[in-house]
Amino acid sequence: MSGPEPFARVALIGLGLINSSLARVLRQKTPATEIVGCARSQATLDTSASLGFVDRVTLDAAEAVAGCDLVVLGSPVGTFAGLAAQIGPHLAPGAILTDVGSVKGAVFRALAPHVPAGVHLIPGHPVAGTEHSGPEAGFAEMFEGRWCILTPPQDADPEAVERIAALWRMAGMTVELMDAEHHDAVLAITSHLPHLIAYNIVGTVTDLEEETRQEVFKYAAAGFRDFTRIAASDPVMWRDIFLNNRGAVLEMLGRFTEDLTALQRAIRRGDGAYLEALFTRTRAIRRGVIDARQA
């Protein structure tokens, strides 16, 4: 397992689920790495410091990145353009700037203009997580057995790409390279649309009158509860994902709605053959997910 040299000093901007999990990995695997934590609230910094996965904390992103050979943006992607403008002038020559955001086209467009020559921009997306958020929610094992997608620009330095790939492999992930647009299309299907639908169905239920709502909780095990878990994910993070992958999400939502209309029509008309054929096809898909060891 002798890979590239470990990073000497890493700035983690945003100390939520992903970055705090990454910090725990670094603590375990490369204990010599100095970890600088940066967040917008003092409370988050205090929690992170007391959990012991950062060496230094600061509210000032520009200060955080000074002298770092790696900077990882882990805040909601809507903050990236502002952050990049702030930290750009302070990034050390030869440093790598990466992120853990769930959209990649918009991230590149937000960051690239602010990255000085000699700094390597290697956007990334570790596809892992839970419905919990914040520095307390992180754990080192979260990445194990999952996929990490990197979307380096075409002219990216191969050595810088390999260092980021090695970082995520160290965390237990399998790394794939992809162009940003393809990433956004695939994640719109596998992640963004499912979250959108879960948020929507849970929202529909919250609008029901109070009495029914209590019964909804009681009988949630009949199906509804699976949606409540997804729909408990971080609201600001997800707001930014939808706003920053609008095209692909609306495209997938359009297909979903067409299919739903056809299904509604089949139910209204009592077309049992249509329903059974669909449900038989979808059952086979579960097999595919299990075979891909992602169940």
CB nearer to its own copies: pick between 159 and 215: 215
In whole angstroms, how close is the CB of 251 to its own copies at the nearest point?
11
List the beta bridge partners of residue 121.
Answer: 97
Encoded tokens for 255: 């297909």
**Cα dist. 224→15, 72, 139, 220 in Å?**
31, 36, 27, 5
Q: Which of 35, 180, 231, 248 binds its own copies (CB under 8 A)?
A: 231
Encoded tokens for 191: 């992640």
Residue among 95, 45, 99 nearest 74 (CA): 99
Question: Which residues inside 39-78 make contact with its own copies, applying CB under 8 A?
Answer: 78
Q: Which of 66, 81, 115, 236 binds its own copies (CB under 8 A)?
A: 236
Helix axes 272-291, 246-269, angle to 10 degrees: 140
Is there binding between residue 131 and its own copies (CB under 8 A)? yes
CB nearer to its own copies: pick between 60 and 259: 259
Is there binding between residue 146 and its own copies (CB under 8 A)? yes
In whole angstroms, how close is the CB of 124 to its own copies at the nearest point?
14
Question: Which residues inside 162-221 make contact with its own copies, applying CB under 8 A?
Answer: 185-187, 189-208, 212-221
In this chain, which stretch among 3-11, 90-98, 112-120, 126-134 interacts with its own copies, using CB under 8 A?
126-134
In whole angstroms, how close is the CB of 47 to its own copies at the nearest point?
19
Q: Which of 46, 144, 159, 226 binds its own copies (CB under 8 A)?
A: 226
Q: Which H or E run contains 177?
A: strand 174-177
CB nearer to its own copies: pick between 93 and 218: 218
Place of tokens 């709502």: 213
| Helix ranges (DSSP H) in the chain | 17-29, 42-51, 61-65, 80-87, 105-111, 158-170, 180-187, 193-206, 210-218, 224-230, 235-244, 246-269, 272-291
Is there binding between residue 150 and its own copies (CB under 8 A)? no
In whole angstroms, how close is the CB of 204 to its own copies at the nearest point?
5
Q: Which of 38, 224, 248, 251 binds its own copies (CB under 8 A)?
A: 224
In whole angstroms, how close is the CB of 190 to its own copies at the nearest point?
4
CB nearer to its own copies: pick between 68 and 165: 165
Is there binding between residue 253 and its own copies (CB under 8 A)? yes
Encoded tokens for 207: 């609008």
Encoded tokens for 77: 């992607």
Give the N- to C-terminal CA distance of the chain in Å, as an integer.
Answer: 28
Question: Which residues inside 91-110 make contact with its own copies, applying CB under 8 A?
Answer: 102
DSSP 117-139: TT-EE--EEEE---S--SGGG--
Is there binding between residue 117 and its own copies (CB under 8 A)? no
CB nearer to its own copies: pick between 80 and 238: 238
Please state whether beta strands 147-150 and 174-177 pair in parallel, antiparallel, or not at all (unpaired).
parallel
Could you give the angle at the alpha carbon of 168 between the alpha carbons of 164 and 174, nearest 5°? 115
CB nearer to its own copies: pick between 8 and 260: 260
Is there binding between residue 246 and its own copies (CB under 8 A)? yes
